[in-house]
Amino acid sequence: MSNDRLFVLPGETIDPSLIPSHPKNPLRLGPGLRHIPPSDIVPTVAGQLITNPVKNFMSIEYNSTHYIPSQGDIILAQILRSTTDFYLCSLAPYTAPATLPHLAFESATKKTRPILSPGQLVYARVSLANAHMDPELECVHASTGKADGLGPITGPGCVFDVSLGFARRLLMARAVEDGGVGVLDMLGGEEGGGLAFETAVGRNGRVWVGSDNPKTVVIVGRALQETDRSRLGMERQRRLVKKLVREMRWRD
């Protein structure tokens, strides 16, 4: 992470020269920013201001453990119960439940909708996140009708809690270069001896790790949590991966 990014505090005025202006695209605000009409953009959290002039996008990068839903976030939700038209899901313990309509799945109709039981996990996108309203989720792209990897999570695996900042770093398109998180690549690469596993990272700070071998799940989960907790750099991540893999081999 570069240090030249501006650090802002909640309620601070953002210099208008920093706000990206694009001739065609509308300005999009990410997490941590709020538009107060007519023309004020105010940070709601303390963190680093990120601007992208090409996408005409700005957001605030911060680390916390309290998840606030924001539109477009990919999250890992847990079904609480089902009502006539939608499922109630929890994004984080002790927060207001989010709604997931029964028909918001790929090729779901009234008859073919997936039946989910309480406690099951779904990988979903936040489709609506207004202030003072329960957020709404979807497991299908509204315009294409494709799931794009979203949907109920089945198969052997476990969920591990990480901090929100770490989850965002994992979700970056170039997690190794920009986010500085290489554990997953290392575990699947030569340091980890080519472990086979899959992950589903939710912006709400939950990571699902799936593998047929429970040992692999435990190694990956521990590596992720340890990297997050001790804020490990690349070199220490490599050492951690080697250590965990060696420990597991030794136990066999």
Partner 1 sequence: MPREAEPSLNEKQFVIQALQENLRLDGRELDQYRPLELSFGDQYGLADVKLGKTRVLAKATAEVTVPYTDRPLDGIFTIATELGPMTSPAFEVNRPTETEVLLSRLLEKTVRRSGALDTESLCLVAGQKCWSVRVDVHVLSHDGNLIDASCLAVVAALRHFRKPDTSMEAGVLTVYTPAEREPVPLSWLHSPFCVTWSFFGEEGEIAVLDATWIEEQVRVGSCTVSLNKHGEICQIAKLGGTPVEAVALLQCVSVSLTKVKEFSDLLDRKLAEDLKRRDKGGFMAELRAENDR
List contacts with partner 1 (CB under 8 A).
78, 90, 93-94, 117, 119-121, 153, 156-159, 208, 214-215, 217-218, 221-222, 244, 247-248
Q: Are 88 and 99 in contact (CB under 8 A)?
A: yes
CB of 222 to partner 1, least distance (A): 6
* Tokens standing for residue 115: 């039946």
CB of 53 to partner 1, least distance (A): 40
Could you give the CA distance from residue 166 to residue 174 in angstroms, rounded to a whole number?
A: 14
Q: Whose Cβ is closer to partner 1: residue 37's or residue 93's?
A: 93
Q: How many CB atoms lie within 10 A of CB 247?
A: 11
Q: How many CB atoms lie within 10 A of CB 11?
A: 10
Q: Whose Cβ is closer to partner 1: residue 26's or residue 93's?
A: 93
Q: Whose Cβ is closer to partner 1: residue 11's or residue 214's?
A: 214
CB of 139 to partner 1, least distance (A): 16
Q: Whose Cβ is closer to partner 1: residue 42's or residue 226's?
A: 226
- The CA dihedral of 61, 210, 89, 126, to the nearest 10 degrees, is 40
CB of 247 to partner 1, least distance (A): 7
From the centroid of its chain, how far is CA 63? 12
From the centroid of its chain, how far is CA 210? 16
